[in-house]
Amino acid sequence: MGKSGLFWTPFVFVRYVLFLAAGIIAGVFFIADYPAWWFFIFCLLLSVGLIVLFNVKLNQHKLSVGLLSLLILFTLGMMRVKMCKESTDALHIINQKDTIVYYTVKIDYFFQEREKVWKTIGQINQVKTKKGWQQAIGKVQLYFFKYDFGTIPFYGDLLLIQGQPQVLEEPKNPGEFNIKQYLSFKQIYHQHFIRKENYFGCIQSDVGNPVIYYALKMRQWADGILKQNFHQPERLEIMRALVLGVTDGIDDDISQAYAAAGAMHVLAVSGMHVTILYTLLISLAKPLGKKVTHGWWLAIVSLIIMWTYAFITGWSPSVMRSAVMISIMVLSKPLKRKGNVFNAVALSAFVLLLWDPFMLMSVGFQLSYLAVLGIIIFQNPIYRLYEPRTYISDQIWKVCAVSIAAQLATLPLGLLYFHQFPVYFIFSNLIVIPVSTIALVGGLACLAFSFSDLLVSGLVWITDLMIVIMNASVRLVEQLPGSVINNIYINITQSWLLLSMLFGLWLLWEHKLKFGAWLLAGSFSFLLLVQLEHELNFRQTDQLVIHAINNQTSVEHFQKGKSIWYRADTLTKNNSSLRMHIEPGRLRAGVSPNGIQHFVLSQQNDFTFIQYHNKILAIVNRKPKHWPNFKVDYYLISHQAVLPQHIPVSQQDAVFLLDASNKVYFTKLFEREASKKKLQYLILHQSLTL
């Protein structure tokens, strides 16, 4: 066996989880809708093929046994996807042919506050159609309008709702975030906006899981304690995010400051918070010797503290992931298991993915495990690059090494999902990590000693000061020149290639394997080819895009990294519609903010004309007083500007496009009248590229 074979041998659970994950990916994207028996046939055929390939008996060839076991895990991953995908069940509402008139739904999640609505997830129990009441299943994203509801339901409440949940829509604009796919990984395929008139109240309470119910009650109690003691709004919201993971009330400006400083992990209850608690406990127990730090006493106390914290956060998924991961690592010490740390991390992922295979699609899951692996893999090699001479400089360098390692490992996914890189993350984390640790412990202490006003007032003063320092530091970093590199676009293939390069770098740097050099060079070469292909397909294109945005008109002409944007005056730089629907397409096309020429559509003019190649598009801003005396190929009708009966015969050969700024009643009326006149028309439910 070669050097690379010896290197791979100890990582048993790493191999297991990789093949399980590969099976999950195959199940999610390729074969999840196949019947269950197909998986067994698939496994059988591959097993037979494996035996024939090696032409040996299983008990005489370890390689055959190993590959067969990995093949079984691959098939298990596919089968778990099949078992957990609720939409394949005949009772699921996505398979319901008749119109739903009423349905009963159990609140299955805590409520999240948005600007105009309260958002939660409901689990449907029954539906009423023309055939009467019948059993049904299916999760639905529920939105309760604030101005209709003074009080909101709680987890476990069973509600009676009138109306039909709407199927989630595909993305409507180029590069737009695919909310339908994102929610499908959580088994959510529908949404419903609830108004007072279609809400018939709570028909039963406390029908949920009692463990989750009391955890959310505990979270509610803890939230009340924080609100009672932290009075400055901004610092209160940071405290709620830091301790409980409640980010609803955080202002966009402070959120952007944390992102620019590379400190967003502080505002999301995650593995860092659980790790802080465990590390603090280990530090306190160190003076007691190895018998304590490696014994059952510390393991039991650690598990109690970690799972109590998970309970207080309402079983937050990110905390649950970290609690499972660290629990396995904690138990390995008293059990005298000397296996490498990679196997412990892989085992925790294996357990979580067996429980919920769709967790693999979660951004939080991916970033958590990459950050942990990055710290394990790169911290020591980075730390060895510099030898501090004093204790203080050594501690500072350790924090820097951890920050660099975590940032390096999560870089590919950070660029893929967030399209930016915080340049000064090392400096901000030098302050944020220790200060947030004090603030987190202080916040939890406020909850633990809430019975004593004197103790709590002292803790609040210290914690409040820490948050002031933390907020000031991230704002200072954000204001530094070049604090963030924005508008970075990579696709999924490129993110995988960057991860492959990091793995090759580690193999070459830490283990001196030639394969690492080949992997690094090969991945880099392929990355350049993919980038070249993207440049040719997107950044060098010349296209005209008509966006589909509710109540808005937007047309953009992309040409070699620049654009001319014809827009309504309500689409400003701070508009959420701009961030959600338009900027992703620009990012993919390589258009920088400085490369955009703005043209504001005005209702003072009848038409706005756009010439694209040898075609003319006319945007109809209002009911025209005078029509053009030349040929127009396309008319884009916006804001109920004109009906077919007002279009002159000379222009009826054009194609009439109705964008999303038009009201539903107008669209239906136009469609009816245009059919009578035999006009060519198109209702733009999605963006149109010419």
- Bigger pLDDT: 93 vs 321: 93
Strands (E), 591-663: 596-600, 607-612, 615-620, 634-637, 655-658
DSSP string, 187-208: TEEEEEEE-GGGEEEEEE---S
Residue type, 102: Y
State the Cα–Cα distance between residues 632 and 609, nearest whole angstrom. 9
**Using CA of residue 253, residue 255, residue 256, residue 258, what is the dihedral sign?**
positive
602: helix, coil or strand? coil
Bridge partners of 688, per DSSP, are 546
State the Cα–Cα distance between residues 616 and 632, nearest whole angstrom. 5
Q: Residue 44's pLDDT band (boundaries 50, 70, 90)?
A: low
Q: In this structure, what are the phi and psi dihedrals at residue 500, rounded to the nearest 5 degrees?
A: -65, -40
CB atoms within 10 A of CB 182: 14
Question: Quick check: 322 and 282 in contact, CB under 8 A?
Answer: no
122: helix, coil or strand? strand
Nearest to 479 by CA among 252, 253, 250, 260: 260
Q: Residue 462's pLDDT band (boundaries 50, 70, 90)?
A: very high
pLDDT of residue 591: 83
Neighbour-count burial of 163, counting CB atoms closer than 10 A to its CB (0-12 exposed, 13-18 middle, 19+ buried): middle
- Bigger pLDDT: 330 vs 401: 401
State the Cα–Cα distance between residues 421 and 424, nearest whole angstrom. 9
pLDDT of residue 168: 92
As a whole number, mean pLDDT of residues 67-95 equals: 87
Angle at 58 between CA 57 and CA 63, to 5 degrees: 115
Residue type, 368: S
Is residue 92 pLDDT above 80, yes or no? yes
| Structure token pair of residue 596 | 């955009």
As a whole number, mean pLDDT of residues 587-604 equals: 78
User: What is the pTM for the complete model shown?
Assistant: 0.84
State the Cα–Cα distance between residues 367 and 663, nearest whole angstrom. 42
Is residue 95 pLDDT above 60, yes or no? yes
Is residue 304 pLDDT above 50, yes or no? yes
Mapped to the 3 state alphabet, what secondary structure does 654-684 carry?
CEEEECCCCCHHHHHHHHHHHHHHCCEEEEC
Nearest to 422 by CA among 407, 436, 444: 407
| Structure token pair of residue 134 | 């019948």
Neighbour-count burial of 35, counting CB atoms closer than 10 A to its CB (0-12 exposed, 13-18 middle, 19+ buried): exposed
State the Cα–Cα distance between residues 133 and 135, nearest whole angstrom. 7
Q: Residue 58's pLDDT band (boundaries 50, 70, 90)?
A: very low
Q: What is the pLDDT of residues 491-529, one digit of tens each?
A: 899 999 999 999 999 888 888 888 889 999 999 999 999
State the pairing for strand pair 655-658/680-683. parallel
DSSP string, 377-432: HHHHHHHTT---SSHHHHHHHHHHHHHHHHHHHHHHHHHHHH--EETTHHHHHHHH
Is residue 125 pLDDT above 90, yes or no? yes
Helix 62-84 × helix 341-355 angle, to 10° = 40
Question: Quick check: 548 and 660 in contact, CB under 8 A?
Answer: yes
Is residue 466 pLDDT above 90, yes or no? yes
Termini Cα distance of the chain: 59
State the Cα–Cα distance between residues 683 and 637, nearest whole angstrom. 10
Q: What is the pLDDT of residues 626-652, one digit of tens each?
A: 888 888 889 998 888 889 888 888 888
Q: Residue 52's pLDDT band (boundaries 50, 70, 90)?
A: low
Residue type, 164: Q
Q: How far is CA 427 from CA 176, 368, 424, 583, in A?
A: 33, 22, 6, 30
pLDDT over 70 for what percent of the chain? 89
Q: What is the pLDDT of residues 201-245, one digit of tens each?
A: 899 887 778 888 888 899 999 999 999 999 898 899 999 888 888
Q: How much is the mean pLDDT over the chain?
A: 84
